[in-house]
């Protein structure tokens, strides 16, 4: 074999290794960008109260809205989205099959125009907007603008009152597009 053909064979062997290395670098670069987006994406969170409710006024509790991301959130506000609110007899029950759209809402001015840095929070109390219910299926809709975007984003958090075995009412987080039927079965109780 001539010297020229040996050199060409070495080049041909190095070419697949170079392509494989470039493909691996591209793949790792894409994975790094995706991971960065996930880590640094805005993360407003609504924390429900953990204490039992005053059964005569279920809205007398407070919810904390927290920025759990690294990116500051400008012009952050909240709306109380109305799903089901019962203010009749104590034995009234939420419809376990209904999935609310939360198109209607209430929003006191004090819940609007907050700027949240990392781990900062503001607190809302639904009693600022509504009173006198004995069962509810609500959403807290958080509107916010990350500092680098010229428009607002929204995130919705659903909460339901549920009577536990001790007879006390608690707020419980619940998925937006799921009926309450499984929640009632899980707890063995109604509303």
Query: Do 66 and 14 reside in the same domain of the chain?
Result: no
Pair 169, 53: CB distance under 8 Å? yes
- The reply to whether 32 and 59 lie within a common domain is no
Which residue, chain included where needed, has tokens 């204490």? 51
Q: Are residues 34 and 109 in the same domain?
A: no
CATH code at position 81 = 2.60.40
Taking only the tens place, the pLDDT of each residue in 49-73 is 877 667 677 888 899 999 998 889 9
The verdict on 53 and 14 lying in the same domain is no
Q: What is the pLDDT of residue 143?
A: 96
Same domain, 80 and 160: yes
**Structural domain of 32:** 1-40
| Whether 27 and 116 share a structural domain | no
Average pLDDT over residues 82-91: 80
Asked whether residue 88 falls in the same domain as residue 31, the answer is no
Q: Do 117 and 65 share a domain, yes or no? A: yes
Task: Please check the confidence at residue 189 and state whether its pLDDT lies above 60.
Answer: no
Indicate the pTM of the whole model: 0.78
Looking at the structure of the chain, the number of domains it has is 2
pLDDT at 158 over 70: yes
**Does the structure show a pLDDT above 70 at 187?**
no
Rounded average pLDDT over 126-155: 91
Helix/strand/coil (H/E/C) assignment for every residue in the chain: CCHHHHHHHHHHHHHHHHHHHHHHHHHHHHHHHHHHHHHHCCCEEEECCCCCCECCECCCCCEEEEECCCCCEEEEEEEEEEEEEECCCCCCCCCCCCCCCCCEEECCHHHCCEEECCCCEEEECHHHCCCCCCEEEEEEEEEEEECCCCCCEEEEEEEEEEECCCCCEEEEEECCCCCCHHHHHHHCCCC
> Each residue of 108-137: pLDDT tens digit?
999 999 999 999 999 999 989 988 788 899
């Amino acid at each position: 074999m001539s010297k020229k053909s040996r050199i060409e064979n070495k080049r041909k062997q190095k070419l697949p290794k170079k392509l494989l290395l470039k493909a691996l670098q591209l793949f790792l670069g894409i994975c790094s960008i995706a991971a960065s987006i996930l880590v640094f994406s805005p993360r407003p969170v609504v924390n429900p109260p953990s204490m039992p409710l005053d059964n005569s006024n279920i809205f007398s509790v407070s919810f904390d809205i927290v920025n759990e991301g690294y990116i500051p959130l400008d012009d952050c506000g909240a709306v109380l989205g109305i799903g089901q609110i019962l203010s009749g007899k104590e034995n009234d029950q939420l419809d376990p099959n209904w999935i609310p759209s939360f198109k209607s809402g209430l929003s006191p001015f004090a819940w609007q125009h907050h700027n949240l840095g990392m781990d900062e929070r503001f607190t809302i109390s639904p009693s600022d907007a509504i009173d006198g219910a004995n069962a509810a299926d609500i959403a807290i809709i958080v509107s916010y603008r990350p500092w680098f975007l010229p428009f607002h984003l929204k995130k919705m958090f659903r909460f339901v009152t549920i009577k536990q075995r001790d007879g006390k009412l608690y707020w419980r987080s619940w998925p937006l597009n799921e009926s309450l039927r499984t929640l009632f079965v899980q707890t063995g109780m109604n509303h």
